[in-house]
Amino acid sequence: MRVRAVLFMIMTASLLLAERADSRKDKFNDPAPDFTLRILPIISRVGCNSGQCHGAAGGQGGFGLSLRGYDAAADYDTIVHERGGRRVDVANPENSLILRKPSKQLAHRGGLKLPEDGAFFAEVKKWIENGARPGSRAAPVELLASPAERLGAAGEKYKLSVNVTLADGAKLDVTDTVLFSSNDESIARVDKEGNVEITGSGETAILIKYLNLVTAARVGAKFGCDISNYIFRGNGPGGFAAEMIHKLEPMSLAPAPTLDDEDRGIFYRRVYLDITGTLPDVEDARLYLKHPNPDKYKFFEEIVTSKETITRWTRWLADLLRVREETMGVDGARRAQEYLRSQLEARRPLDEIIREAITAKGEPWAKGPAALALATDGPAAQMEFVTKTFMGARMQCAQCHQHPFDRWSREDYFGLAAFFARVRRDNGKIILSDSGDFTDPKTGKPARPRFPADPGSQNAAYPEIPAGVDRREIFCDWLFDIQDRRFDRVIVNRIWKELYGVGIVDPVDDFRAGNPPSNPKLLDALVQSFREVNRDIFKFIFSLELYNRTAVDPKPGAERDFRYYSHAYIRPLSGPILLDAVAKACGYSLKIGDRGNVRSAQEIPDEDGGNVSLRALGRCPRDGSVDPSIVAPPSLTTALHWIHGPFAKEMIDAPGGRVEKIVISKMSADDAIDELFLATLTRFPTDAERAKARGALGADMTNESVGDLLWALMATSEFVTNH
């Protein structure tokens, strides 16, 4: 059937050539539209190959195209040759289904896409009249939007224009066939033609798609702060202040004041919770708050190297590396956790720890890193896990089609998965095979290990891997050292999010042109510093020095800044940190796990170890379904747990706990109130609060009245957030 169609096409094409011989001059001036550069983008622009229509995996009504036109050769074949050539009728262009259906001359469930009197209809028709030839121009390699960046004011309107550069250097204006979309319509809207309207303060990207190319035009609007009285020199608050602050002036953001001596309690609690994942001891807090001249530097140094800090960041790594009993077994998960802890204690560089996790082999129950290889199973799942977590690349989409928002192709997907193709499980042991491949189901061929091309180039590489060498090692060489410092950027950004609540790139697992960093200079400086301290996480955190000395309250006009760190953000504490904080405030000794031998929610070698409080508070599901950087929002179940769960009775009433000790000690009501405020909110009460607390305690302090006050303080928003 196909041969017949082609023959027919050649015949009609020659007829057409003969017929139009005299108009050759015109044709020379106005060449037939190119299938790849013109027709396919038109098809994309009007939406025929969207995911809801013919671009769906199974097509629509027996007509399936590549999603948004990433595969021009296959689409050409489908359009011109399938269905016995009925879609395109070169002899009788008006009869072509590809014209009659979308113009609704024939019934079309997808609606009117190509009105008969429109320019696109005419162009497609012209392409058919000219023989419906495949694309013949050089391949498109890069999209350029103009203006590539614009910082204006809300209400401003302008138009984007887009050029594509071809492999032979030619440039074409493709504005009328690209697809525009805004990442955040609360900042800027864009219509189909590329008309942008700025709608609010902040920065976002207009995503532009053309065939398999994606680019982003940045657009933003200043905030409304009065900045005439500020000097943006960043000579104030310690590490990276200059980089943080340089972004504020162009955005018209006034920085919140730095915390002064009066606010030392805010600083103390914030830093303590962020770095150590625990609340400070009451006596330590009291000393610090009352000290005439506390040494912040020394305090910071002490807590950065404390045991609690190791525990808190071990948990962070265990979340990232998905340590859990379901996949690793009870012993394996425990080994993995112990291993991560020992590595952090030894101050090993993060890239070495993570390389060892990615390339693990051996007996999981006996050796820590081997268990880490059990987090995911199979080349595809392993590759997706590693690239998402440590490259910030969401590859899943590319398994079936060109990634709709990013530059990854199917070749990239299978090429990267191929690095993990030879990992085997043998009686629970992780071994490497020296043969076996990952097969691309579309081609039926084994995928070769391949490094994706850099943005804007076509330099994808197939490394030579000698026999006996673990392919995963070669992948790690590329990930850690070669690939645009991508690992460093991703991991530094993840650490930053733990400390500031929002990543410089956010979501932290989505690094791509359409989701640029809010402050590239800051990210670059952090990466530089991270490498200078040899990727030692604690030295790195220490280099952020007094990192967070900004007040929570924004300056007028900066209220809607959630990206530029003009003020400190209020953020929810994660489930494990919260459970440990409640236990410490109550003076209660947690016993978690079958043997009750885990004493801190942050030491559980599993997502929850069966603990009902963690399930109610929300914990990181270590199965990859939610990125570990995301704190589960409180639900009805969470709130009921606060009101009626163990926090309400069992932990508050614990024998030998804080409430009992306070009552037995016969301390004064004011002392008790001080202690309860220090134990929960790490500060002394205001006069108004003291009065209310006195009223609650009554004349005679009882376990009940003290317990009620402790409960109320723990249930406040101030307790359950860091700020």
Separation of CA 312 from chain center: 21
What is the smallest separation between the CB atom of 388 and another protein, expressed in angstroms?
Answer: 10
Contact call for residue 175 and another protein (CB under 8 A): no
611 binds another protein (CB under 8 A): no
Q: How far apart are CA 464 and CA 470, in angstroms?
A: 12
CA distances from 446 to 377, 487, 574 (A): 19, 28, 43
Q: What's the chain's length in residues? A: 723
The region of 233-241, 393-401, 450-458, 538-546 touching another protein under the rule CB under 8 A is 393-401
Q: Segment 517-576, which members bind another protein (CB under 8 A)?
A: 552, 559, 562-563, 569-572
The Cα 619–Cα 111 span in angstroms is: 46
> Residues in contact with another protein, total (CB under 8 A)?
66
User: Quick one: CA dihedral 390, 395, 399, 402, positive or negative?
Assistant: negative
Per rule CB under 8 A, is residue 634 in the interface with another protein? yes
The stretch near another protein (CB under 8 A) out of 351-359, 396-404, 524-532, 537-545 is 396-404
Q: Is 616 in the site for another protein (CB under 8 A)?
A: yes
Strands 195-198 vs 188-190: parallel, antiparallel or unpaired = antiparallel
Q: Is 653 in the site for another protein (CB under 8 A)?
A: yes
At position 148, the amino acid (one-letter code) is A
Compute the distance between CA of residue 400 and CA of residue 468 in angstroms, rounded to an integer.
31
* Residue 632 in contact with another protein, rule: CB under 8 A: yes
User: Considering the rule CB under 8 A, would residue 663 count as an interface residue with another protein?
Assistant: no
Question: Taking CB under 8 A as the rule, does residue 192 contact another protein?
Answer: no
Apex 171 CA angle, 169 and 173, nearest 5: 165
Residue 369 CB partners (closer than 8 Å, separation 6+): 336, 339, 356, 357, 360, 362
Secondary structure tally for the chain: helices H, strands E? 28, 16
Closer by beta carbon to another protein, 360 or else 693: 693
Q: Is 182 in the site for another protein (CB under 8 A)?
A: yes
Smallest gap from Cβ 151 to another protein, in A, equals 19
What minimum distance in Å lies between the beta carbon of 477 and another protein? 27
Shortest reach from residue 142's CB to another protein, in Å = 25
Helix axes 669-681, 687-697, angle to 10 degrees: 120
Contacts of 347 (CB under 8 A, 6+ apart): 536, 538, 539
- Closer by beta carbon to another protein, 660 or else 718: 718
DSSP letters for 671-685: HHHHHHHHHHHSSPP
Q: What is the four-CA torsion angle of 240, 245, 246, 249, rounded to 10 degrees? A: 180
Q: 10 Å Cβ neighbour count for 331? A: 15
Q: Are 108 and 101 in contact (CB under 8 A)?
A: yes
Q: Give whichever of 56 and 139 is closer to another protein, judged by the CB atom.
A: 56
Contact predicate 337/323, CB 8 Å: yes
Tell whether residue 481 is a contact of another protein (CB under 8 A).
Answer: no
**One of 273, 285, 491, 693 touching another protein (CB under 8 A):** 693
Tell me the DSSP string of 175-238.
GGGSEEEES-TTTEEE-TT-EEEE-SSEEEEEEEEETTEEEEEEEEE------TT------SSS
Q: Which of 222, 641, 658, 683 is the binder for another protein (CB under 8 A)? A: 641
- Match 């955005």 to its residue by tokens: 251
User: Considering only residues 23, 186, 589, 702, which one is a binding residue for another protein as defined by CB under 8 A?
Assistant: 186
For residue 169, state whether it binds another protein (rule: CB under 8 A): no
Shortest spacing between CB 396 and another protein, in angstroms:
4
Q: Please select the residue that binds another protein; options are 349, 501, 587, 628, rule is CB under 8 A.
A: 501
Angle at 24 between CA 19 and CA 29, to 5 degrees: 140
Confirm or reject binding of residue 306 to another protein (CB under 8 A): no
Q: Which part of the chain contacts another protein (CB under 8 A), choosing from 352-360, 470-478, 481-489, 649-657?
A: 649-657
Residue with tokens 């112990």: 338
**696 counts as binding another protein under rule CB under 8 A:** yes
Q: Which of 570, 562, 611 is nearest to 590 (CA)?
A: 611
- What does the radius of gyration of the chain's CA atoms come to, in whole angstroms? 31
Question: Closest approach of Cβ 676 to another protein, in Å?
Answer: 11
For residue 402, the minimal CB distance to another protein (Å) is 13
Report the nearest approach of another protein to the CB of residue 493 (Å): 14
Closer to another protein by Cβ: residue 337 or 515:
515
Buried b / exposed e over 115-125, threshold 16 CB at 10 Å, is: eeeeebbebbb
The tokens 């202040």 sit on which residue? 241
- List 224, 642, 658, 682, residue binding another protein (CB under 8 A): 642
Instruction: Give yes or no for residue 268 binding another protein (CB under 8 A).
Output: no
Q: Which of 118, 147, 152, 200 binds another protein (CB under 8 A)?
A: 200
Q: Report d(CA 304, CA 525) in Å as an integer.
A: 21
Q: Which of residues 38-77 bind another protein (CB under 8 A)?
A: 52, 56, 60
β 149-152/213-221 pair status: parallel
Contact segment (CB under 8 A) with another protein among 13-21, 303-311, 538-546, 631-639 equals 631-639
- CB 184 to another protein: min, Å: 5
Q: Could you tell me which residues come within 8 angstroms of residue 92 by beta carbon, excluding any fewer than 6 positions away?
A: none
CB-nearer residue toward another protein: 181 or 543: 181
- Point out which span in 329-337, 360-368, 499-507, 537-545 binds another protein (CB under 8 A): 499-507
CB of 629 to another protein, least distance (A): 10
Q: Please select the residue that binds another protein; options are 55, 280, 349, 645, rule is CB under 8 A.
A: 645
Q: How open is the CA angle 511-167-445, to the nearest 5 degrees?
A: 70
CA distance 484 to 487: 8
Indicate the DSSP class of residue 410. H
Comparing CB distances to another protein, the nearer of 267 and 569 is 569
Question: Considering only residues 39, 447, 648, 651, which one is a binding residue for another protein as defined by CB under 8 A?
Answer: 648
- Of 157, 290, 445, 644, the one binding another protein (CB under 8 A) is 644
Task: Pick the closer one to another protein by CB: 209 or 394.
Answer: 394
Q: How far apart, in Å, do the first and last CA atoms of the chain sit?
A: 70
Which region, judged by CB under 8 A, interacts with another protein, from 157-165, 189-197, 224-232, 626-634? 626-634
Binding residues for another protein (CB under 8 A): 52, 56, 60, 182-187, 200, 384, 394, 396-397, 399, 501-502, 506-507, 552, 559, 562-563, 569-572, 612, 616, 625, 630-645, 648-650, 653, 689, 692-693, 696, 704, 708-709, 711-713, 715-718, 720-721
